[in-house]
Homo-oligomer: A and B are copies of this chain.
Amino acid sequence: MKLHQLAEALGATLVGTNGEVEIKGIATLSEAGSDQLSFLTNPAYAREAAETGAAAVLAKRGKVAPESLLKGASLLEHDAPYLALAKALELFHPNQDMPAGVHKTALIHLGAEVHPSAAIGPYVVIKKGARIGAKARLETGVVIGEGASVDEGAYLGPYCVVAAKCSVGAHCQLEPHCVVGSNGFGYATDKEFKHRRVPQVGSAHLEAYVDLGAHCLVDRGAISTTRVGAGTKMGNHNIIGHNVQVGENCLIVGQVALSGSSSVGDRVTIAGNVGVVGHVHIGDGATVAAKSAVTRSIPAGQTVRGFPARPYKEVSIEMKLVSELPDLFKRLAALEAQLGKPEA
């Protein structure tokens, strides 16, 4: 594809003279050659942009001066360059669909339904009453429990498990070793501090376009349904406890644990290694900074941090003041010396 055609396909404005160059791929600023597109989506890399040997640099409209590209790269200006980059990558790396069909080693119960356009990999196990939708792709060793379902176009990486009665929505993408429908942490403790399992008899449901990074766990409800809303995207090693309700289009970065019966609104961002206690609610559009502990409900739109998580600015000021404690203790001692230290 020529650069001017690519600009058109992306809805970008071409600034420069390389429009007729045949573009063969996409690379980082430092690695791109004269037949590749590169991109500047983080201003920290401006110096690499100046020196790039790429045919063109995709960047935010108005943020990069064409003459700053010292080796003659053209500019592709776009209002949302990271979205345009996603689109460009899709153009150059079309999804290599697993071929439709069922691998001979897959074990599919006679009472399960598998759409003929689905791709079922080696050693997959699909149990009684399970349903697999059109163009769904199940990689090696995926297990689909009794009565569970995987909707159209979903992708499950190697060794993902969807337990009995649970469901994965259309176009979800699950990285390896995820579990949807594990038994959550439910124990009734007696007077001698012995713990009796509370049978976990609910289910877990991912709505459409949910992504789970590798090793994510979504526990089934104790009695009702654990639910993750459409379009929510998670990184690696997250835990969604039993009965949790997560809204739509959230970002949950990684190493996050949402304890049982907590709930999260829509468009919430939860950064890495956050813990949320049970039975609290995080409102729509809220943001929780990394390593926070959410111990109370968070209003919609609020940005919080710390343990317990409180408004970001408040906690940041306190953290700054903690770093000034050595000075504070000196100032106090000086006052005491000036006054003669009072009796305690």
Q: What residues make up the interface of A, taking CB atoms closer than 8 Å to B? A: 26-28, 31, 42, 44, 80, 82-83, 85-86, 89-90, 92-93, 105, 107, 121-123, 125, 139-141, 143, 157-159, 161, 173, 175-177, 179, 182-185, 187-190, 192-199, 201, 211, 213-215, 217, 219, 223-224, 231, 233-237, 239, 249, 251, 253-255, 257, 259, 267, 272-273, 275, 277, 279, 285, 290-291, 293, 307, 310, 314, 317-319, 321-326, 328-332, 334-339, 342-344
Contacts and interface: CB of A to CB of B under 8 A. Distances in A.
Contact of A217 (B90, B197, B236, B318): B236
A317 B326 contact: yes
A241 B332 CA distance: 45
Contact of A279 (B42, B236, B318): B42
A37 to B, nearest CB: 10
Given A158-B161, A290-B277, A329-B321, A235 B185 contact: yes
Contact of A201 (B31, B93, B307, B334): B93
Contacts of A272: 257, 259, 275
Contacts of A197: 86, 173, 211, 233
8 contacts: A31-B224, A121-B125, A122-B125, A185-B253, A194-B231, A272-B275, A324-B329, A335-B335
A267 to B, nearest CB: 4
A89 B329 contact: no
Given A42-B279, A125-B122, A290-B293, A175 B185 contact: no
Contacts of A194: 231, 249
A183 B188 CA distance: 33
B182 A214 contact: yes
Given A224-B27, A326-B317, A334-B342, A83 B173 contact: no
Contact of A223 (B27, B224, B343): B27
Contacts of A184: 213, 235
A193 B335 CA distance: 49
Contact of A214 (B140, B179, B214, B317): B179
A223 B173 contact: no
B328 A329 contact: yes
A213 B182 contact: yes
A190 B81 CA distance: 11
A339 B336 contact: no
